[in-house]
Structures are given as structure tokens and as C-alpha cells.
């Protein structure tokens, strides 16, 4: 008897827009509020009652597989009633990735999700909608108020049936489409990258060479009168495409404020101030911090360290005296000298920064960089991995 639902997480993206943060890891491994993005994707599906998840990996696939297996141990999976399969995958697109793992899908319906988005979408409600509509394919949808031309837009009928796709249209195209079908009240609506399929669509993929869902599969299904629906909840939900350093910074701020609830940062939460401590390891009295912060373990803080709100600090970091950090993300094994200020910036693993340096205005410092010159100021700059400033 086949299961009612399996899920596939597409985790093979190159993450090139996140460089240099993805210089040594794939995008699903990148930590948001001290938790890899792949874990948020798994939890989102697990909370919907899905018990079998197939993860499609590609770049740094062995590293990602090891990371997943370290967190989601056999004992933990058994406790959760969950099965995670991570087959090898060298796909050429989103549809091709699902085709290559189709032998592992043994359910009547399947969810396809992405490892580089964070969302509070009610997955169970979408799955129920898919079944109620007897849909062959259902696409998650969301209304947006701005930047409609940044994403592909969709026209929906009142019952949710997809009428038309607009692939990253101009403002004029959106306006004209509103006049000719669907009504302005339904615009703009974007595809947020989570799909439900009947098993027959997976079988269909095995009999053709279509590579991408957005470019190939959905237009074909629409043109050939398949039952293709868009799930657009009446209440708004949180969704963020973590595609570049700016949105990555936002994702940390948002998860610290629990915008993605019920998925949440790693660690133990302390009270209503949304303070997250890994392994419940509270910092020493040398550190003062505001609300909405996530602090890793085995860190050393000098005197008069202050971590302001909306900040994530990883583990095994060494901060000297009078360090000030505000609305920033610090990864693991980072050394900050006396009087260092970090404001609205990102510092990757194994970075060393000398005394009295100032890092601000969306600066991104890649892994293994060394700023050895005191009083250096980096303002809205990007340092690629292994850069040395002397």
C-alpha cells in the first residue's frame, strides 16, 4: 500500500549569488540563526506529517550528506518517525533532479520543496487543497506588494485554477494581463517554489526530457489542460528566497523574531526576549546583549563586549575587549580584536580581525580572511575567501 505523501527537497543549487559565503559549502549548508537552511526545510515538511523525505544534493553533496546525517541520526529519525534518503544526483534542472530520484518515491502524492527558501506556509493546508481539487499539480502562491517584476507572476481563477503564467513580466504586461483576465485584485501573485504532484506527473517526467519545472513542466501542463492549481492562502504567510547576502542577513533577523514559526532557530530559547543559546550554554558576565540574538557555544568574550539586537554569533569564537556587534551574522571560529565594531555585516568562518577595525554597511567577509592591519574600515565591501589585509 503506497504512502499518501513523500517529499523531495531540491538542495543542489550552486549558491553563486551568495558568494563568498558559499566558497566552501553549498547553499543548503549555510547557517541561519545557527541552523543550516536544510534543517528548516526538513522541519517544514516534517511538521506537515510527511514521514519520508528525499534530499537531492549536488555541489558539495558529500559534505551536505554528512551534515544531515550528523544532525538527523538514525536514533533521532526513529524517534521522529522519519526517513531521510540522500541519493547521488547530478541533475541538469529541478525537474531532472526529481526524475533522477523517482525510484525512491512510493506515495500517491509528493511535495517538491526547496532548500534555499524559508517559509511559514501551512504545508498541510496546501496538501489538503491539492487533494480536494483533485489536482494533478499544485503550486504554492503568495501575493506581494512590491517588486512584482522580479518574479514570475501567475493569474488564478476564483477556484484557484491557474489561468496564465507571466515569466518575470514588465509592469505594463502585468497591467494589460489584469485587464484581459483574472482582474487586478488577483495581482501580483508569485510562485513561491513549493509544489504538490500526483504520482502520475512523476511518471510523466520519466517519459520526457523536460529539465525545469518553471520553464518546461508547468507551461506544458497548462497548455495541455492538466489540472493545474495555485494554492493562495487567504492569510499572508512568511516567505523569503535566501538568494544573496542581503536577503541572507534578513533571514537571520526574521528567524530570530520567529517570523517562520513553527520552524525556529537552533538552541534553547530564553523567555520572551527571543534569546537562543546552543546547548543552553549561557555566556559569561563579560557579555551584554539585547533581544533577538542567537549565541553559539564555547565562545570566549572579553570585558565590556556588547551584542546588540538581531545578531547571530556562531561557536568557538574569541572576542577581545570592548567588541560591539549590531544586526550582524558571525560564523564559527572568528577572532575579533580589541574595540572591533561590526554593524549590519556578515563574517564567515575562520576570520581574524585586528584591533579597532570597523566593519559596516552590508560588508561581507568570506571564509579564512585575515584583517591584520589595525583601524581598518570596511564599508559596504566584499572580501573573497582567503583575503589578507596587512
Q: Give CA–CA dist 298/277, Å, rounded.
A: 11
User: Over the chain, what HEC string results?
Assistant: CCEEEEEEEEECCCCHHHCCCCCCCCHHHCECCCCEHHHHHHHHHHCCCCCEEEEEEECEHHHHHHHHHHHCCHHHHHHHCCEEECCCCCCCCHHHHHHHCHHHCCEEEEEEEECCEEECCCHHHHHHHHHHCCCCEEEEEEECCCCHHHCCEEEECCCCEEEEEECCCCHHHHHHHHHHCCCHHHCCEEEEEEEEEEHHHHHHHCCCCCCCHHHHHHHHHHHCCCCEEEECCCCCCCEEECCCHHHHHHHHHHHHCCCCCCCCCCCEEEHHHCEEEHHHCCCCCCEEECCCEEECCCCEECCCEEECCCEEECCCCEECCCCEEECCEECCCCEECCCCEEECCEECCCCEECCCCEEECCCEECCCCEECCCCCEEECCEECCCCEEC
Q: Give CA–CA dist 239/117, Å, rounded.
A: 7
Work out the number of other CB atoms within 10 angstroms of the CB of residue 322.
17
pLDDT (0 to 100) of residue 18? 94
pLDDT (0 to 100) of residue 171? 44
Q: Report which of 40, 233, 257 is spatially closest to residue 122, judged by C-alpha positions.
A: 233
Q: Report which of 341, 128, 308 is spatially closest to residue 231, judged by C-alpha positions.
A: 128
pLDDT (0 to 100) of residue 15? 80
Query: Environment class of residue 311 by beta-carbon count within 10 Å: exposed (0-12), middle (13-18) or buried (19+)?
Result: buried
Q: Does domain 271-389 have CATH number 3.40.50.12780?
A: no
Q: What are phi and psi of 158, to 5 degrees?
A: -60, -30
Domain ranges across the chain: 3-256, 271-389
Instruction: Evaluate whether 3-256 and 271-389 have a shared fold.
Output: no
Instruction: Look at the domain 3-256 and name its fold.
Output: Spore Coat Polysaccharide Biosynthesis Protein SpsA; Chain A (3.90.550)
pLDDT (0 to 100) of residue 379? 97
Q: Give CA–CA dist 44/123, Å, rounded.
A: 7
Q: Give CA–CA dist 304/178, Å, rounded.
A: 58
pLDDT (0 to 100) of residue 181? 46
Cis peptide before 380 (omega within 30 of 0): no
pLDDT (0 to 100) of residue 168? 56
From first to last of the 390 residues of the chain, give the pLDDT tens digit.
Answer: 456 899 999 998 778 899 999 999 999 999 999 999 999 999 999 999 999 999 999 878 889 999 999 999 999 999 999 999 999 877 788 999 999 999 999 999 999 999 999 999 999 999 999 999 999 999 999 988 655 556 667 888 989 999 988 765 444 444 444 444 444 454 488 889 999 999 998 888 888 888 999 889 998 999 999 999 999 998 889 999 998 999 999 999 999 999 999 899 988 887 777 888 887 777 777 789 999 999 999 999 999 999 999 999 999 999 999 999 999 999 999 999 999 999 999 999 999 999 999 999 999 999 999 999 999 999 999 999 999 999
Q: How far apart are the first and last CA of the chain?
A: 65
Whether 85 contacts 55, CB under 8 Å: yes
Amino acid at each position: 500500500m503506497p504512502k499518501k505523501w513523500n517529499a523531495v527537497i531540491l538542495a543542489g543549487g550552486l549558491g553563486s549569488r551568495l558568494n563568498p559565503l558559499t566558497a566552501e559549502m553549498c547553499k543548503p549548508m549555510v547557517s541561519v540563526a545557527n541552523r543550516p537552511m536544510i534543517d528548516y526545510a526538513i522541519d517544514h515538511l516534517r511538521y506537515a506529517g510527511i514521514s519520508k523525505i528525499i534530499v537531492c544534493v549536488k555541489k558539495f553533496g558529500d559534505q551536505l550528506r554528512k551534515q544531515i546525517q550528523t544532525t538527523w541520526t538514525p536514533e533521532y529519525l526513529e524517534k521522529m518517525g522519519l526517513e531521510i534518503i540522500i541519493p547521488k544526483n547530478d541533475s541538469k534542472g529541478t525537474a531532472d533532479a526529481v526524475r533522477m530520484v523517482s525510484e525512491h518515491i512510493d506515495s500517491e502524492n509528493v511535495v517538491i520543496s526547496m532548500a534555499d527558501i524559508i517559509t511559514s506556509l501551512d504545508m498541510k493546508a496546501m496538501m489538503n487543497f491539492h487533494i480536494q481539487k483533485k489536482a494533478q499539480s499544485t503550486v504554492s502562491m503568495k501575493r506581494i506588494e512590491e517588486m512584482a517584476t522580479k518574479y514570475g507572476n501567475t493569474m488564478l481563477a476564483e477556484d484557484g485554477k491557474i489561468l496564465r503564467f507571466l515569466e518575470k513580466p514588465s509592469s505594463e504586461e502585468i497591467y494589460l494581463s489584469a485587464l484581459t483576465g483574472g482582474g487586478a485584485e488577483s495581482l501580483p501573485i508569485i510562485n513561491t517554489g513549493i509544489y504538490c504532484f500526483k504520482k502520475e506527473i512523476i511518471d510523466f517526467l520519466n517519459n520526457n526530457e523536460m529539465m525545469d519545472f518553471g520553464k518546461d513542466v508547468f507551461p506544458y501542463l497548462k497548455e495541455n489542460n492538466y489540472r493545474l492549481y495555485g494554492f493562495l492562502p487567504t492569510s499572508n504567510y512568511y516567505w523569503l528566497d535566501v538568494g544573496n547576502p542581503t536577503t541572507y542577513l534578513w533571514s537571520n533577523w526574521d528567524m530570530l523574531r520567529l517570523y517562520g514559526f513553527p520552524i525556529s532557530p537552533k538552541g534553547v530559547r530564553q523567555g520572551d526576549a527571543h534569546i537562543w543559546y546552543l546547548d543552553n550554554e549561557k555566556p559569561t558576565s563579560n557579555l551584554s546583549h539585547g533581544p533577538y540574538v542567537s549565541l553559539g557555544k564555547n565562545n570566549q568574550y572579553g570585558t565590556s563586549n556588547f551584542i546588540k539586537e538581531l545578531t547571530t554569533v556562531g561557536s568557538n569564537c574569541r572576542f577581545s575587549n570592548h567588541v560591539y556587534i549590531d544586526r550582524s551574522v558571525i560564523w564559527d571560529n572568528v577572532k575579533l580584536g580589541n574595540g572591533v565594531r561590526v554593524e549590519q555585516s556578515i563574517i564567515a568562518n575562520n576570520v581574524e580581525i585586528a584591533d579597532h577595525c570597523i566593519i559596516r554597511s552590508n560588508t561581507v567577509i568570506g571564509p579564512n580572511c585575515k584583517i591584520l592591519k589595525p583601524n581598518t574600515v570596511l564599508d559596504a565591501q566584499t572580501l573573497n575567501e582567503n583575503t589578507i589585509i596587512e
